[in-house]
Structures are given as structure tokens and as C-alpha cells.
Amino acid sequence: MSFLAQQLLWGAVLPGTITAVLLLMGWRAWRRDGVPVYWGTPVALAIGYLFAHWRIVGLPLSFPPSDSTAWLFVVAAVMAGWGVLEHVTNEQVRARARWRLLLVGVITWLVVRPLMGNVWQGVTGWLWWTGLTLGWWLWWTAQERIAERLPGLPVALVLSMTAGGGGFVLLWSNSSSLSQLSGAVAAVSGVLVPLMLWRHNARVGAGAVATVAGILGLIWVNAIAFVPVPVVRIVALAAASLTPLVALLPAVRKRPAWASAVACAVLTAVVLAVVMFPTYRAYVASASAYGY
């Protein structure tokens, strides 16, 4: 088996299969009255990602992890429980937002702490920590609000596309491991799409958003802080994930669910192309400079 085939198998196919099996079991999707067990969705997504992380970069060798990428494994496990908590407290929107900000701030500090006082001197470090925390929190909160108003297909489809497109952006920004982990997020979240086409009463919900936004957001934090990927590229990826807002327009809301999902997917693809094309050109140019 070729290296690429192995990466696809361990980083996408098997994690997606594991997630799909867990979702089918948790949703009891084969039953006529099945699906609305939304607390099981974040757990299934997290387990699928954890498997991929283990196969791609291995398990953390210590706790607390000494490597920023290893923190993704720990945070994914935390997000399984946090997603359930967000589902249980679904009516307490403001309280969830405050606790989410605290969680994101603590995680960001734990991950970027090695840079504080070293690469980021003095107040610069605290400004970076504040910016990364607020950016991650605002994006996560926006995704939650979108999922509340559009609980079904467009949210899952666009998040999967954003993670997949982001994987290429990270690859062409010289971060192979983060690229593969972003691809794993795309695989496990993408499983929701065919299941939602099958069972129309399925929804993403705050719990599933917590798992995907928690893991993908930390991948982006790692990319900015440690690769480093230009902030503008991550901002563009975040903007691509907000295209389900189009489905809230009156003209689009009158259309069938699949039509609004297609409209969101097309717009997402356009935004992703805008960031992916120049990133690839810069990657090729830098490779040519070294004679590759």
C-alpha cells in the first residue's frame, strides 16, 4: 500500500467509518423514531478524531503534553465531554458563551505558553494570547449561533469542506501534520452529511459544533503560533465556514434543504479557492527557489 493510501486509510476512511458506526448506534438511525440523541454526536465525532490523531502523530508521551500538536489529542477528549455539556445546557446561551471563553483562554494559554517570554517578548505575548483567544471564541460562538438557526445539512457540509480545504492550505504552508489532522476533522464531520440526507430530523446542534470548533480552532491556533501560517489565511478559512448564513436569506430559505446546502457549498468552494490558489502558488514558488 502506498504512503498516500495509508494516510487516507488511517486519517480519513477508518476515522469516518468509526464515527459513522457510533452515530448510527447512538441515533438508532434504522428505526422510524430514531435520531434525536444529540449528546452522542460530539462523543462520536471526538472518538473518530482521536483514532485519526493516534494513527497520524501518535499518542501524547507525557501529561501535560510538551508538544503543541499533542495538546490536540487532550483537547479532543475534553471536547467530547464539553459537547455533551453544551447540549445539556442548550437553553443557557449566555452562560455557555462565558464558560466557553474561559475554556478557550485556558487552552490557548497552555498551548502557546512555551512562546511567552521567548519568541513573544513582553506585552507582545499577551497580545497574541488575547487575539488568538478572542478569535477562536468568536468563531466558535458564531458557529453555534448558525447551528441553532440552521440545525441541519448546510452546517455539517460547510464545516467539513472548510476543514478539508484548510488541510490543503496547511499543507502548502509547510505543516504536514496539522494538514492531516485538519483532514481528519473533515472526514469525521463529513460523515454527518450523508446521514442527514438520509434522516432529515438529524441536526448538528451545539454539542457537535463544540467538538468540531474546539478541535479545528486549536489546529488553527497551532498553525498561527507555531508554523507560522499567515493570520489572513486562517481568517479566510473562518470566513468560508460562515457561508451557511446565506441559507438564512429569505430567497434561499424558501428553497428545499438540499438547494440551500448546494448554494452554501458553492459559495464555500469559492471562498476556499480564493485562499487556496495563492497559497499553492507561494508554495510552488518557494519550492522552486530551493531547486525542488
Cβ pair 177, 71 in contact under 8 A: no
For residues 158 and 268, what is the distance between their CA atoms, to the nearest angstrom?
7
For residue 51, give its domain range. Answer: 3-289
Which of 107-116, 160-169, 201-210, 226-235 shows the lowest mean pLDDT across its residues?
201-210
Higher pLDDT, 99 or 250: 99
Give the CA distances from residue 60 to residues 63, 66, 70, 165, 286, in Å, rounded to whole numbers and listed in that order. 7, 8, 5, 26, 32
Banded pLDDT at 131 (limits 50, 70, 90): very high
Q: Looking at the 3D structure of the chain, how many domains does it have?
A: 1
Higher pLDDT, 102 or 248: 102
pLDDT digits (tens, 9 = 90+) for 56-108: 989 888 888 888 899 999 999 999 998 888 877 766 778 888 999 999 999 99
Q: What is the mean pLDDT of the chain?
A: 86
Cβ pair 218, 47 in contact under 8 A: no
For residues 67 and 48, what is the distance between their CA atoms, to the nearest angstrom?
21
- Provide the percentage of residues in the chain whose pLDDT is more than 70: 89
pLDDT at 1 over 80: no
